[in-house]
Structure 1
Amino acid sequence: MDYALTYADKLNRFWDSVVFCDENTFCGDGPISKIFVWQEDDTRYNEAQVVGTRRSGRISVALSSWMHAGGVGQLADVGPGQFTRHNYVEILEEALLPSLRNLLFPVP
């Protein structure tokens, strides 16, 4: 709220120089796909037919993007694992900057 109140009276030309960027992880609990198994009659509990572990089916994807007064930016896949400063710099260089240049300085 402090941020909003501090910048509420800024003119449009101020906002033309501002870029907001953020990253988030989106998760779902549904299975990715079903596995169908065909087996002979009366073999359901044979050791060869039983899977010892089961995946949770949880799906997650980490994405980063940006927005500007002139539009929104390209989504970037953050990738698996810990989000590091190196990942952040790579996303800025390979996704944010090129798509921001295309928005602000389109090539005819």
Structure 2
Amino acid sequence: MSKFLISFAEGAMKIPDEDVPAVTGAAHAIVEEAKQAGTWVFGGGLLHHEEAYTVGPDGVVADGAHPDRRGHLAGLAVIDVDSMEDALEWAARISAACRCHQEVREFLPERDE
């Protein structure tokens, strides 16, 4: 099994206010399906990037996301599945539910210690 990050960028969900309850319900249904399938690790939506903090290697803390960051995550899911193909299938379901594109990336394998 491998872990995959499925995520979407801030501003990607462009849905009318009246559709928010339907999108929320559809997204929660996919999460429940992933939990029932045993693939769900964790996930959720994130606050706006301006409500983030950046911590430098020297320990200095600054308000907001790092200015060099080109994109900001708005939501994510981590799943544990057998293959990239399986991850892409889950991403397609999440994409349909959330009505926005999803990025899929595989985590590096965990080191045995």
Query: Radius of gyration: which is bigger?
Result: 1
Q: Answer yes or no: same fold by TM over 0.5.
A: no
Larger relative strand fraction? 2
User: Per the shorter chain, which TM-score range?
Assistant: under 0.3
For normalisation by structure 1, the TM-score amounts to: 0.25
Answer 1 or 2: higher relative contact order, Cα 8 Å, separation at least 6.
Answer: 2
